[in-house]
Amino acid sequence: MQINVKGKHLEITEAIEAYVTKKCERLVRYFDKVLSIDCVIEKESKGFHVEFIVDVEHHDDFIVNYRDEDLYAAIDLAIDREARQLVEHKNRLKDHKHNGGKH
């Protein structure tokens, strides 16, 4: 899995990149067909805007945006939302397989 971290109006330090990478690795536990994750962190006048774009095999990308005054809180909350999306998608796939032939 490839993880890309980019910054707008902000320099991405090794600490920020390591933190994002550590949090993104958690997503594979929820859904193992993650191909790549792009993270864009933008410094705004009142805090930070974090966007995660998760490329999943055989599906459109999952996109999550989150704004917060604290960068690390924004990353954590965005990852939590992304994890929820992946779990829901995995459950839908499982339900579809189990209920596919019954009408």
In a domain, 29, yes or no: yes
- The pTM for the full model equals 0.85
Q: What are phi and psi of 45, to 5 degrees?
A: -65, -30
Structural domain count of the chain? 1
DSSP 21: H
Q: Is residue 61 part of a domain?
A: yes
Alpha-carbon distance of 8 to 12, in angstroms, equals 9
Residue 77, domain member (yes or no): yes
The reply to whether 103 falls in a domain is no
What is the amino acid identity at position 39? C
CATH code at 11? 3.30.160.100
Q: Could you list the pLDDT tens digit for every one of the 103 residues in the chain?
A: 899 999 999 999 999 999 999 999 988 888 778 899 999 999 999 999 999 999 988 888 999 999 999 999 999 999 999 999 988 988 888 776 666 555 5
Domain range for 36: 2-98
In a domain, 11, yes or no: yes
